[in-house]
Amino acid sequence: MKLLTKTSLYLLCFTIIAFIASGFIFYYSIRSIVYKQIDASLITEKNIIQEQIEHTDTIPDFNAAFGHLIEVRVFEHQLKHKQTIKDTLINPNEDDDIPYRNLNFTGTTKNRKGYSISISHPLSEKQDLLEDVNSLLFILLIILMLIFIIVNYWISKRLWIPFYKSLDIINRFEVSSAKPLVFTKSDIHEFNMLNQVLEKMSEKIRTDYINLKEFNENASHEVQTPLSVIRSKLELLMQYENLNPDQVNLLESVNDAITRLSKLNQGLLIISKIDNQQFTAQEEVVVENVFQKILNDYEEMIQLKKISVTVDFESSIAISMNPILAGILASNLISNSVRYNVENGFLKITKRNKTLTVSNSGSSLNIDTNLLFNRFTKGGSDHESVGLGLSIVKRIINYYGLSIDYLYSNHTHEIKIDF
């Protein structure tokens, strides 16, 4: 959920609660004012009647005001002074009950006679007025709430424009680019602070990337050069005629170690380049052609192991990727399938829908298959392997957002790539 949407939802909930509470407060405030006016009117009428009873000791001759119900009674015994005001229901015409505001007062005259005064004021008109006010208030609050939400969303969206511009600039930033991050200056202090931090951070990342790239290239070159020299010197030594078998074995062992070290150096350099996104050039690559070319390169090894090869592509599949990485991907998969295959085994490369499957015969692995795509993990006893082939495959798969799975059943290894 977007921050702007979430903020708007929070404000909406708060606004609804605040408006409902305000509506109740306003309604009961108006109701209290109306009731105070009615109660004051009832008390005024009661005072007039009370004053006449207590001074003349007679029940006054009065005509009830329109809509008012007034009842005065006199008793032979004394009554305590008591006054109550409350809502009540009265049925004056034996019709439906009508709500009234009733004042009831009891007292005693100078001649020690008790009397009671009951005055009832109808509330129907006042309640209708309160209902109209309540309806109008509800409509007004809904309109205000909608206006508040729309205005707040519009203002918030405008305020967040610099943030989305900065986000777009960051999304288009490439660490390998020579252009540094440059943000548009905003009139919001916090966004300017964020942009300054991002500019410094991106510049440091770009500098570190360039330094790491140069280090990897220099290290690879500096390591590869002495290895080539050592290998050439070893080849010259192995051509000497006066070497005994032990010396030949020793030189061959050193040569094998140098070969493995050279492969290790090349493999780590490839992984580093993939991680640093140095393979930026892309083109439409026909996967079938790439695998067929690599199979031709491994033809001698395949014939040596007498492996039967089957290539079955339901239809050609082309993917936009770096051609060098496509070749490395196919080479490592085929090399792995041939290297760990058995005599008179098989190698099948099939494509169904958008799934490419490379399967080969072979014995079960002696490692956890979950670790198969990790660095320096070897599934067999081949001493020439440096354990980086499938790790490089996994890095290429991740680089292009593809998926890869490994299965083993019935002495068959399967690697599936979903394009």
| Cα-to-chain-centroid distance, residue 413 | 38
Ranges for all domains in the chain classified under CATH 3.30.565.10: 283-418
Phi, psi (degrees; rounded to nearest 5) at 91:
-115, 80
Burial category of 11 from C-beta neighbours within 10 Å (exposed 0-12, middle 13-18, buried 19 and up): middle
pLDDT tens series, the chain, 419 aa = 676 677 778 877 887 888 788 878 888 888 888 888 888 888 888 888 888 887 776 666 665 555 578 888 888 788 888 889 888 887 766 667 778 888 999 888 777 778 888 888 888 777 788 888 888 878 888 888 888 888 888 888 888 888 888 888 888 887 767 677 888 888 888 888 888 888 888 888 888 877 777 777 777 667 777 778 887 887 888 777 777 888 878 888 887 777 777 777 777 777 777 776 777 778 888 888 888 888 888 888 888 888 898 888 877 778 888 888 888 888 888 888 888 888 889 999 888 888 889 999 988 776 766 667 766 566 555 545 556 778 888 888 888 888 888 888 888 888 898 87
Q: What is the pLDDT of residue 380?
A: 54
**In terms of C-beta density within 10 A (0-12 exposed, 13-18 middle, 19 or more buried), how is residue 43 classed?**
middle
In the chain, CATH 1.20.58 covers 189-275
Distance CA 411, CA 362 (A): 6
**What are φ and ψ of residue 89, in 5° steps?**
-110, 130
CB 328, CB 392: distance < 8 Å: yes
Give the pairing of strands 346-352 and 308-313: parallel
Contact in structure between 379 and 360 (CB atoms under 8 Å): no
For 376-409, give one letter per residue: b (16+ CB within 10 A) or e: ebbbeeeeebbebbbbbbbbbbebeebebeeebe
Q: What is the DSSP letter of 369?
A: G
Select the CATH number that applies to the domain covering 283-418 from these four: 3.90.650.10, 3.40.50.300, 3.30.70.920, 3.30.565.10. 3.30.565.10
Residue 320: its pLDDT value, please?
86
Q: Is the pTM of this model over 0.85?
A: no
| CA 328/CA 353 separation, integer angstroms | 23
Q: State how beta strands 82-90 and 98-108 pair.
A: antiparallel
For domain 189-275, the question of CATH label 3.10.150 is answered with no
User: What is the rounded CA–CA span in Å between residue 231 and residue 258?
Assistant: 7
* Distance, CA of 371 to chain centre: 30
